[in-house]
Amino acid sequence: MHVIAVLALDGVVGFDLTVPCQVFGSTLLADGARAYDVRVHGSSSPVKVTAAGLELYQMSTSWRMESARRAGTIVVPGVACPFDPIPRQTLEVLRAAVANGTRVLSICTGAFTLGQAGLLDGRRATTHWLRADELAARNPEVCVDPSALFVGDGTVFTSAGVAAGIDLCLHIVEMDHGSAVAAETARRVVASLRRDGGQAQYIDRPLYAGTDTPLGPTLGWLAENLADAITLKDIAAHASVSVRTLTRRFHRDLGTSPSQWLLSIRIRRARELLETSSLSVEQVASMSGFGSAAALRQHFVGQVGSSPQTYRRSFTTTGDGRP
C-alpha cells in the first residue's frame, strides 16, 4: 500500500498535521479498502503541537523521522516558527526523498522547511499568502505564486494556508485514484473536491484572495450577484472607478481580467450546484449566470474539462467521470 509519511516537527501546526491524515486516511478504493497507509513520523522526544502560534499540547509519535525515507509520499506540515532551523536529519530525509522521486507535499508554512532543504530552488511554489513575500525573499531561486491554492512542480507540491491543504490532498487522491474516489473522499471529509474554476488546479485561486485589496467589496458583490447579467460597466460602476482602472486593478490584484474572474466564480457556482443539487442543467445555468445551458456547457468543458452532466455523474455514481 502507498505509505504517506506525515512529519511532526517541533511546533507543528495541529491542523496541518491532521488534515493529510484525515483526508488520506478517509480515502477508500472502490472495493472499500483503504487507499493509503498514513503514518506520523517524529523525533523520539515529544514535540509541541500548536495552533495560531499557541502551544496546545505535546505529542509523541510511533514512527521515527528516519523511517520516513521509505514512504511513497512525505507530507510536511507548517510549524509555528517557520524561520527556525530545521534539524539536519529532517532536511536529509527530504533531500533524499526528492532525489529518488518520492512525492513531497507541504502545507502552509511547510514550504519554508522545503526551502531550507533547498528543494524549491528552480521550482514554482506557494505558501500562506501572509508569508509569500518572506518565502520569496529567503529563497530567491523559487518562483512563488501567492495566489495559487496549491502548486505542483515535478514531485514537489506546496499548498497555501491551512485549509488549502485539504484541496491539495484531494488533488493528490484524484491523481492517484481518479475523480470518483476523490469525490467520495471529499464527501467524507465534507469538503469540495474543487474549490475554484480554472482548467488547471495549479492556477486555482482562493475566493478570498484579494479581500484586503480595494477590490474586496466588489468581489463580494460579484459573488452575490453572479446569477445576474453583469457587464464590465456594471462592475466598474459598483467599484466607482472607470472601466479602464477596473481592469487594471483586476490584473494587478488578481492576475486576471474581470470577465475571466466572473467566469471562474460562475463555473464554481455551477460546480457546487451540480455536486449538491439535482437541479436541471438549465436551472444550474440560470442560477450561475449563464444565459443558456449551451453557454454553460461550452464554458464548463473549457474550464473543467468535462461536460456538466459528466461532471455531475462523477459525483453521483461510482463511475469515473474522467473523459
Partner DNA sequence: ATATTAAGCCGCCATT
Partner DNA sequence: AAAATGGCGGCTTAAT
Per CB under 7 A, residues contacting DNA are 214, 231-233, 241-245, 247-249, 251, 257-260, 291-292, 295, 298-299
* Alpha-carbon gap, residue 9 to 46, rounded angstroms: 10
Q: Smallest distance from the beta carbon of 211 to DNA, in angstroms?
A: 18
Q: What angle do CA 267, 273, 275 make, to 5 degrees?
A: 100
Written as nine digits, the cell of 178 is 481518479
Written as nine digits, the cell of 170 is 484531494
Written as nine digits, the cell of 175 is 491523481
* Alpha-carbon gap, residue 117 to 176, rounded angstroms: 26
Cell numbers 473522499 correspond to what residue? 185
**Radius of gyration (Cα) for the chain, nearest Å?**
21
CB of 226 closer than 8 Å to CB of 266: yes
3-state secondary structure of 287: helix
Q: Smallest distance from the beta carbon of 275 to DNA, in angstroms?
A: 23
Cell numbers 505509505 correspond to what residue? 3
3-state secondary structure of 27: coil
Of 152 and 258, which CB lies nearer to DNA in the complex structure? 258
Q: Smallest distance from the beta carbon of 230 to DNA, in angstroms?
A: 7
Q: What is the DSSP letter of 34?
A: B
The CA distances from residue 75 to 110, 158, 270, in Å, are: 9, 10, 32
Q: Smallest distance from the beta carbon of 283 to DNA, in angstroms?
A: 17
E strands within 149-263? 150-153, 156-159
Q: Smallest distance from the beta carbon of 274 to DNA, in angstroms?
A: 19
Q: Which residues of 268-303 are buried (b: 16+ CB within 10 A; e: fewer)?
A: bbbbbbbbeeeeebeebbbbbbbeebeebbebbbeb
Q: Is the dihedral of CA 257, 263, 265, 267 positive or negative?
A: negative
Of 201 and 247, which CB lies nearer to DNA in the complex structure? 247
Q: Smallest distance from the beta carbon of 310 to DNA, in angstroms?
A: 20
Q: What residues are annotated to the active site?
A: 108
